[in-house]
Structure 1
Amino acid sequence: MPEKYTILSEIIHERKSVRKFDSSYTISREEIEEMLIEATEAPSSSNLQPWRFMVIQDEETRKRLKEFSYNQQQLDTASAIIAVIGDTEMYHNIDEIYQANFEAGYMDKANMENQISNAKALYPKAPVEARLNIAAFDAGLISMQLMLIAKAKGYDTVTMGGFDKQQFVKEFDLEDRYAPLVLIGVGKAAAPAYGSSRLPLEKIVTFI
């Protein structure tokens, strides 16, 4: 088995959801930025990258967040809470993204212009619900990638979907285009994560 796969497999199996972190441990802003930059290598629909992040470390902000997040203890103890936010108007970045792809040599001018034309014909006209679904799907991809990167660096994580999203929008004064999707706590575990079983393959896979 290739060494790279072995390492990846170990990271996947070691990553567990931790709910009690070492509150005395601090992850630097620089290291969080490094993890986020690496996480953005995740794929996204038409490469429009409809993810945005809010990194919450301030104690008072955590307290306010905890009030409408079912008082989950990891909000107190994680080194940082990363809110993953979907941009339902990702089409505003079409020109910037494809121009950057062209300038980096990833595509020629004709392909760039064709991709821009196709994206502009599709995304702005799509219903908001459809764009939210796209953003949520892509946010799931980058969230999982971020958690594996964190584990590879020796950190632990937990995802939290249990929070009042409307209150989050109000608290942080988000524009209508932005939808909070999930919170990710990251830090050093202070207690082991619970193990969890998985359904057998024959129950979830069909070969045709």
Structure 2
Amino acid sequence: MSETYKENNFEKILRGRKSIREYDETAKISKKEMEDILSETVLAPSSANMQPWRFIVVESDEGKAKLRPLIRFNTRQNDTSAAMILIFGDLQCYELSEDIFGAAVAAGKMPQEVKDQQMSTLIPHYKSLSRQEMIEVVKIDSSLAAMQLMLVARSHGYDTTPMSGFEADQLAETFDLDPERYEPIMIVSIGKANETGYSSIRLPISKIANWK
């Protein structure tokens, strides 16, 4: 278990999460702790365990200055947070399948014959998908990682806000990624809250779920 956990009560983590728009500008997150947070984030599930999420942690003044013109009405989060985490989906994530399945075999988690069967089936399948179909796959998987990131951040004593209000057509290229390969999914600000955040209401289950 990470020694940096501040909260282990899942109910407090879950119910205490609020979207924060202003952070304590003096509160920073070390690279080591951010690596811990991301390592716990990527325990999220993904289709065929392809792990298509890719992260850019924007924490420097220079990085935030590049990001600021692209985030519309979210500049307060950018200016005060410890970091803005850009989440992209890799449309060619299957290129790392050998790394994933090879490591699983080496760790004794997967027999070699299962790996061979997976590789021979999955790689042609992913390559056959249209660009739009692949975007839908990586959006779902990367959104699972984004939600996990926000809960993990709470366990480390930090707050977050998910953001979709940004110039998606410019984000990848601005941060030196190939826009044909990396699909922007979400930006998550992270830091120590400098406000209480807003409590919100959820619809009752009777309005959103049915039993058959």
Fold similarity call, TM over 0.5: yes
CA distance in 2, matches of 1:20, 1:85: 24
The alignment status of 1:100 with 2:103, answered yes or no, reads yes
Of residues 90, 93, 106, the one that matches 1:90 is 93
Residue 65 (structure 1) shift: 1.1
2:125 matched residue in structure 1: 122
What residue in structure 2 maps to residue 52 of structure 1?
54
Where 2:127 maps in the other structure, the secondary structure is coil
Query: 1:156-196 CA distances to partner (integer Å, 9 max, x unpaired)?
Result: 00011100011212312321211111111000000111011
CA distance in 1, matches of 2:157, 2:123: 41
TM-score normalised per structure 2: 0.92
Aligned to 1:141: 144
Contact 1:70 1:163 in 2 (8 A): yes
Q: For residues 52-201 of structure 1, what are the structure 2 equivalents within 5 Å?
A: 52-72=54-74, 73-175=76-178, 176-201=180-205
Q: How many residues align?
A: 203
Q: Which amino acid is 1:17 matched to? A: S
| Letter matched to residue 113 of structure 1 | D
Per-residue deviation, 1:126: 0.8
Q: Is the 8 A contact 1:50 1:90 kept in 2?
A: yes
Q: State the identity as a percent.
A: 36
Contact in 1 for aligned 2:153/2:160 (Cα 8 Å): yes
User: Which one-letter code corresponds to 1:173 in the other structure?
Assistant: D
2: CA distance between counterparts of 1:164 and 1:82? 15
Quote the Cα distance in structure 2 between the aligned partners of 1:28 and 1:109.
39
Q: The residue matched to 1:22 in structure 2 has which SS?
A: coil
* Contact in 2 for aligned 1:94/1:119 (Cα 8 Å): no
Deviates more, 1:164-173 or 1:194-203: 164-173
Match of 2:20 among 5, 18, 24: 18
CA distances 1:86-105 after superposition (whole Å, capped 9, x unpaired): 00111111222111111111
What is the one-letter code of the residue matched to 1:140?
S
CA displacement at 1:71 relative to structure 2: 4.3
Q: Which residue of 1 aligns with 2:207?
A: 203
Secondary structure of residue in 2 paired with 1:93: helix
Q: 1:27 aligns with which of 16, 26, 29?
A: 29
Tell me the amino acid that sits aligned with residue 114 of structure 1.
Q
User: In 1, Cα distance between the equivalents of 2:18 and 2:107?
Assistant: 37
- Letter aligned with residue 26 of structure 2: S
SS in 1 for 2:67: helix
Q: Describe the SS at the equivalent of 2:102.
A: helix
8 Å contact from structure 1 (residues 56, 62) kept in 2 = yes
Cα distance in 2 between the residues matched to 1:178 and 1:170: 9
In the aligned structure 2, how far is the partner of 1:71 from the partner of 1:63? 15
